[in-house]
Structure 1
Amino acid sequence: MTDPSTDLRDKVALVTGGASGIGRLTALALAEAGAEVVVADIDGDGAERVAREIGGHALATDVSDLDANHAMVAFTQEHAGGLDLVFLNAGVTSDTMIGEGFDLARYRRAMGVNLDGVVFGTQAALPALKARGGGAIVATASLAGLTAVPLDAIYAANKHAVVGLTRSLGPLLAADGIRFNAVCPTFAETPLIAHVREGLRGAGFELLDPQIVADAALRLFAGRESGECWFVQIGREPAPFQFRNIPGPRTAPAEEEVAP
């Protein structure tokens, strides 16, 4: 049964990376809460399957392309009549490291999907959200955006960027009635981690149920927060990460006057 606090009837939602994993579960949760959902993914067939599950709409989209993002929003307005909620969730692993063996194409792909996909998706969605009098955007970041990740610095870099974007845009967009937040999950049981799943299990690493991430995203869509980055960690209730303030400037003490 849908939680009354997350009633999203008469809302139109757009989900990127919606063909599987966290995106699919969030699309299902949005539909259950009453929203009309557009499922976008580079895997067009997968997006179609999810859209059929929920009676929604689907299209194949490369979120790393700005024009494709504008086309995605235009498709949503044409087929669903507007746009209120945007889940910028599409993501990939980096599959490269700085140093020996650095692969430029893989680097560009990782930054293009994980960071540009959020920036371009926001840029494309803002006019549509403003036309409806406001709305909400939730981006998928990661715990890798909140801490150091020595074994995957590229992934950490683009997820840190999404965190910084969220914290900066949240207050800025609030004046237009648009809330911008992020979910920051640990390793979740999704296709994205297929290449490291056995290694994680072998090391005794417990994987997060992706439904918990979808539920956190739904709470952010239905809430009033803006500029928050919610950690989603095993055994803990999802909540906004508390960032420490940076030290303020230190003023040099005035020189003591010396008596003549």
Structure 2
Amino acid sequence: MGILDNKVALVTGAGSGIGLAIALTYAKEGAKVIVSDINEEHGKEAVEQIKSAGGDASFVKADTSNPTEVEALVNATAEIYGRLDIACNNAGIGGEPALTGDYSLDNWRKVLSVNLDGVFYGCKYAIQQMEKNGGGVIVNIASIHGTVAAPLSSAYTTAKHAVVGLTKNIGAEYGQKGIRCNSVGPAYIDTPLLESASGDMKEALIAKHPMGRLGKPQEVAELVLFLSSEKSSFMTGGYYLVDGGYTAI
């Protein structure tokens, strides 16, 4: 018996990193999982991992910055599995580093279109589907930069702060409808996104964490699992850090 038995979950950006860990953890705990990613190869590999472990999963490709594709993704979830109980809006990008005054308009728009607009679309269409069920759970992956600055990444910081605000609004608006919404703020996690970082850069990032290391995707997934389950049944509109002490100093 898993704590998500008979639930249907959707995870965006589930082809690698934190999203993959979340999808695998959901499946391990009994959920039927829709794996979505813009990278079809990675998404299908994630589905095979879940099936090889005895879980139930399907892949649906979607670009979260496109509202039409996100609506189709949620509709496909309902068509494949009959309902949507859990939505984890995880897909995101970092953007190019630059001071705010030098930040290109194109890069600003690109980061916000994925990291903010994409989360809004995911919430909007998930809510519409969950209202048909009489309830559901949304978990939005924000960042430590939903509460502290990320110098040279003003678009990223802006988007992640906004995700925290959006989450609070949904929690306040939909609590009486049985829909809970929380956000998670990971610090720097050892994922493929950091593979391009130099050794010196990685050491500098590690030094910002009082625990003396980067986080692991599974450590984020465990918090997301808790927030997605009935174990957190009286929690909504919150923002929860998994940051190795990054924001404590």
- Fold shared by both chains (TM-score > 0.5): yes
Write the distance in 2 (CA, Å) between the matches of 1:204 and 1:142.
Answer: 15
Write the distance in 2 (CA, Å) between the matches of 1:161 and 1:108.
Answer: 14
**Is 2:39 aligned against 1:43?**
yes
Cα shift at 1:193: 2.5
Match of 2:221 in 1: 214
Match of 1:103, as an amino acid?
Answer: S
Write the distance in 1 (CA, Å) between the matches of 2:114 and 2:195.
Answer: 18
Deviation string, structure 1 residues 152-179 (Cα, Å, up to 9, x no partner) = 2211110000011112221211111000
Q: Report 1:76-225 matches (<5 A).
A: 76-97=77-98, 98-100=100-102, 102-196=103-197, 198-203=199-204, 205=206, 206-222=213-229, 223-224=232-233, 225=235
What SS does structure 2 have at the residue aligned with 1:14? strand
Aligned length: 232
Match of 2:54 in 1: none
What SS does structure 1 have at the residue aligned with 2:91? coil
Cα shift at 1:96: 4.3
Write the distance in 2 (CA, Å) between the matches of 1:148 and 1:105.
Answer: 21
Unaligned regions of 5+ residues in structure 1, if any? 242-260
Write the distance in 1 (CA, Å) between the matches of 2:50 and 2:61.
Answer: 17
CA contact (8 A) 2:86 2:136 kept: yes
Write the distance in 1 (CA, Å) between the matches of 2:190 and 2:205.
Answer: 14
CA contact (8 A) 2:188 2:205 kept: no
Alignment RMSD: 1.8
Cα shift at 1:226: 0.3
Inter-CA distance 30–212: structure 2 relative to 1 (3 Å threshold): same
Inter-CA distance 190–99: structure 2 relative to 1 (3 Å threshold): same
Inter-CA distance 204–221: structure 2 relative to 1 (3 Å threshold): closer
CA contact (8 A) 2:10 2:77 kept: yes
Deviation string, structure 1 residues 197-227 (Cα, Å, up to 9, x no partner) = 5343232612111111000000000121100
CA contact (8 A) 1:96 1:154 kept: no
CA contact (8 A) 1:96 1:103 kept: no
**Percent identity, aligned pairs only?**
37
Which range moves more in the overlay, 43-52 or 26-35?
Answer: 43-52
Q: Report 1:60-71 matches (<5 A).
A: 60-71=61-72
Point out the structure with the larger helix share.
2
TM-score (structure 1 length as normaliser):
0.85
Cα shift at 1:75: 0.8
Match of 1:20 in 2: 16
CA contact (8 A) 2:142 2:184 kept: yes
Unaligned regions of 5+ residues in structure 2, if any? 52-56, 207-212
